[in-house]
Structure 1
Amino acid sequence: MNTKRLNFKSLISLIAISSVLFSCNDDSDSTPSAKTDYDFANVDYSGQTARIMMLDSLESYIKSGNDGVTKLSAVDMNAIYTNESGDLFGSSKDLESKTANDPTLLANVYTQIPFYFASAEAASGNMDNIIGGRLFDANGHEPAQMVGKGLMGAVLYFQSVSYYLTPEKLEGADNETVTEGKGTDMEHYWDEGFGYFGATTDYLSNEEATKYYWAKYAASRADVYDVRGDIFNAFIAGRQAISDKDYETRDAQAIIIQNKWEELVAINVVHYANSVISDTELGDILHHWSEAVAFATALQYNTSKVITNEEIAGVLGSLYVEDIKNANKEALNAQMEAAKAIIKNTYGFSDEVMSNL
């Protein structure tokens, strides 16, 4: 392994300390109606925490190329993505094997990831590719955003709402045998779904709690459209329902999470489309456009989604710009408005929400 990778592994080891903010087990005697924190006994979602930290470190590494001097390595990026060493953050887990890979998807992040690793490497180490303090590839895409937000959808969102919280995963799971530190199989699957949200156990009751990825973006949009309580409280109620063997309530809470998390994806597409419209500097336009596109691809990854594939195709088609660096601003804004219109029609967001996100 070369010196650069050794230095990089030293860098990401510093990030690992934040993982202690996750997966806190706190035995609680509180009743279900009074429970405000995810403080159940026998909880373990360390695998999900490890993957979140891997994604955080991967995104941070790509952003290190924002100085226009650092030469990035696609090999190093892939080493994080696949956990080549087998022990990143003390875990054998990886991101690559959990990335949704379906050839029928309108935009398959799994096949895009190697491309963005390569485009980040090619663009890095060259000040000509730094616009507004950020690294962009030849197509005007920001690799850090395309990878970071892309995997937010294709791993974190997909694995939670379309795998762990589904009847197919939960129905046949054992809910009798309790494993110390882990719970029953059914409880554990639910906890793993919660782990991908990126929230601490005291997410709503502690404003200073560190938030990662989806939990962070839910908090960021909360002033305009707040889904934090819907998602977090449904995770709590569903976990309690499993312990109570109340499967009707469990399933109802899973549906709430799937629906509200989908809305969270959608409002972030609107937010970044609005940012593109209001931006005046090219670097900001490219940055926010990359985020809008990456969040829009995430709409695909909920098997219980409200939005249709045709509508997703419409959103992605409206957002697509072949030569974004030289796009006419008036035409670009019109495309952003077209994408927003599809989302508004699909989810029924108010005019106030649409304009203020």
Structure 2
Amino acid sequence: MKINNLFKITCLSAGLVLVSCSDDDDTPGVQIDEPTNYVFERDGKSSVSYGGQTTRIAMAEEIIDAFKNSEKTEAILDNMFAHQEGANDFTGTGLNESSKSVRSKTAASKDYFSVNVGEASAIKEEFDTWIAGQANEVFPNWNTEATAGVAGFIQEAGGGSTRYVNAKGLEYNQAFAKSLIGALMADQALNNYLGKSVLDDANNVEDNNNGVVAEGKNYTTMEHKWDEAYGYLFGAAPDGAKPLASIGSGSNQKGDDSFLSKYLDRVNDDSDFTGIADDIYQAFKLGRAAIVAKEYTVRDEQAAIIREKISQVIAVRAVYYLQQGKNALDATTVDHATAFHDLSEGYGFIYSLQFTRKPNSDAPYLTRTQVQGLIGQLMGGTNGLWDVTPATLQAISEAIANEFNFTVAQAGS
């Protein structure tokens, strides 16, 4: 358990914590029955549900796979992104029958976009532009060797992986996938489902206090909203109750999806950030237990921890990929394919920074304007990544790290 500025949390026994709402040790605390794993029940049946998040993660996986298939058209990719119920867009079980889509929840959080629909539309259109670019710029040049100003393929040194880039060296598939981590997963978790405007909406507090469940369900609406935030991180885990089984256990672990789970694992595996996965998991678990106990101040403190830590994951990976790209460009023999691959991933993580959330605030660590400025530095030369310098990559890295509690050296290793 963590001791934070607002609470003293003492483990009394397995599954029971005492929370004191004051720094005065004489202040009586409240007891919260916290389970060992993310297991919550009502009347002997699970009250945890985040199936919609699992579905959207699965849809997103198929979309980014389709970016690698040059036989796909813009219309096919568009339809996958903005899926309509019953359309034959996916191969995964039940996905075509689902009424859910990835596009509808991209840049769609209540806290950030409910009154900022113009910005939300602009962000969705940027994702549409990456789809169009892949279909109309990259796919037609699948067998053309890329050079500055020419889209096509570029192969890593020594016969390594082949990368497919636009005329400025950007891999649209990486930009799309990594930007989705912020625009879908982080935005929905941090700025929608963990927000008071969603958790406490309408009669949610009264219903949770009185144990009134949603119609036809075994959970209160507040419980479900918290679970939905959990699902955007852990929704693809084979065992949602114990999702850390595939996170943070060394180089053989890769998380359970290509999005937040994967990169939480990568950051947790860095000795400078070891334990961050458990920090987030424990905060999710205690926050959910606090909802059951009707202790909403404790709930909100855990939401603040989750916001801070998930935001940090995104920032660390942004700096990491910028530094890896810098190293590749600094090498005696420049490997453009490796550099551009890293920098394309970095592009997406930089883009995702606008969806981060400072704890106890309603603001991201970097605003959309700041993010656009950093991307402008990265891609601003005539030929984009073909022109970017190691000095520029270092400057962008420092600008990001300065907003967080880590150094470029820590994140870049």
Residue 114 of structure 1 aligns with which residue?
128
The answer (yes or no) to whether the contact 1:242–1:250 under 8 Å persists in 2 is: yes
Q: Which amino acid aligns with 1:197?
A: L
Secondary structure in structure 1 of the residue aligned to 2:167: coil
Equivalent of residue 291 in structure 2, options 242, 247, 256: 242
Q: Which moved more, 1:52-61 or 1:191-200?
A: 191-200
Residue 22 of structure 2 aligns with which residue?
none
Q: Which amino acid aligns with 1:284?
A: T
Q: Which amino acid aligns with 1:211?
A: D
**% identical aligned pairs:** 27
1:136 aligns with 2:165: yes
Measured after TM superposition, the shift of residue 268 of structure 1 is: 0.7
Greater relative CO, 1 or 2 (CA 8 Å, sep 6+): 1
Measured after TM superposition, the shift of residue 32 of structure 1 is: 4.7
Q: Which amino acid aligns with 2:401?
A: K
Equivalent of residue 294 in structure 1, options 338, 344, 348: 348
1:211 aligns with 2:268: no
Q: 1:107 to 1:290 in 2, by over 3 A?
A: farther
Q: Which amino acid aligns with 1:44?
A: S
Measured after TM superposition, the shift of residue 209 of structure 1 is: 8.5
Equivalent of residue 316 in structure 1, options 365, 371, 375: 375
Distance in structure 2 (CA, Å) of the matches to 1:190 and 1:103: 24
Residue 212 of structure 2 aligns with which residue?
177
Q: Which amino acid aligns with 1:130?
A: F
Q: Tell me the alpha carbon deviations over residues 175-211 of structure 1, each in whole angstroms, 9 at most, x when there is no partner.
A: 1213565410000000001111135321224556952
Residue 392 of structure 2 aligns with which residue?
335
Equivalent of residue 314 in structure 2, options 256, 259, 265: 265
Measured after TM superposition, the shift of residue 31 of structure 1 is: 2.2
How large is the Cα RMSD of the aligned pairs?
A: 2.5
Distance in structure 1 (CA, Å) of the matches to 2:364 and 2:76: 38
Distance in structure 2 (CA, Å) of the matches to 1:46 and 1:189: 12
TM-score (norm 2): 0.71
Q: Which moved more, 1:294-303 or 1:197-206?
A: 197-206
The answer (yes or no) to whether the contact 2:356–2:365 under 8 Å persists in 1 is: no
Q: 1:302 to 1:32 in 2, by over 3 A?
A: farther
Q: Tell me the alpha carbon deviations over residues 55-112 of structure 1, each in whole angstroms, 9 at most, x when there is no partner.
A: 0000011123xxxxx3321111111111135365242111111111657759953111
Distance in structure 1 (CA, Å) of the matches to 2:164 and 2:121: 22
Q: Tell me the alpha carbon deviations over residues 2-23 of structure 1, each in whole angstroms, 9 at most, x when there is no partner.
A: xxxxxxxxxxxxxxxxxxxxxx
The aligned runs of 1:48-197 (5 Å cut-off) are 48-64=53-69, 70-86=70-86, 89=95, 90-100=97-107, 102=116, 108-122=122-136, 123-125=138-140, 126-128=142-144, 129-132=152-155, 133-172=162-201, 173=204, 174-175=207-208, 176-179=211-214, 182-197=218-233
Q: Which moved more, 1:293-302 or 1:201-210?
A: 201-210
Secondary structure in structure 2 of the residue aligned to 1:121: helix
The answer (yes or no) to whether the contact 1:37–1:205 under 8 Å persists in 2 is: no
Distance in structure 2 (CA, Å) of the matches to 1:51 and 1:134: 26
Q: Which amino acid aligns with 1:249?
A: V
Q: 1:134 to 1:351 in 2, by over 3 A?
A: closer
Q: 1:346 to 1:31 in 2, by over 3 A?
A: same
Secondary structure in structure 2 of the residue aligned to 1:134: strand
Measured after TM superposition, the shift of residue 216 of structure 1 is: 1.1
Higher share in helix? 1
The answer (yes or no) to whether the contact 1:318–1:335 under 8 Å persists in 2 is: yes
The answer (yes or no) to whether the contact 2:168–2:379 under 8 Å persists in 1 is: no
Q: 1:117 to 1:351 in 2, by over 3 A?
A: closer
TM-score (norm 1): 0.81
The answer (yes or no) to whether the contact 1:36–1:204 under 8 Å persists in 2 is: no
Measured after TM superposition, the shift of residue 147 of structure 1 is: 1.4
Secondary structure in structure 1 of the residue aligned to 2:219: coil
The answer (yes or no) to whether the contact 2:322–2:394 under 8 Å persists in 1 is: yes
Q: Which moved more, 1:243-252 or 1:141-150?
A: 141-150
User: Which structure is larger by alpha-carbon Rg, 1 or 2?
Assistant: 2
The answer (yes or no) to whether the contact 1:83–1:93 under 8 Å persists in 2 is: yes
Distance in structure 1 (CA, Å) of the matches to 2:118 and 2:345: 23
Distance in structure 1 (CA, Å) of the matches to 2:123 and 2:393: 22
Q: Which blocks of at least 5 consecutive residues in structure 1 are unaligned?
A: 1-29, 65-69
Q: 1:152 to 1:31 in 2, by over 3 A?
A: same
Distance in structure 1 (CA, Å) of the matches to 2:366 and 2:230: 25
1:307 aligns with 2:321: no
Equivalent of residue 31 in structure 1, options 15, 21, 30: 15
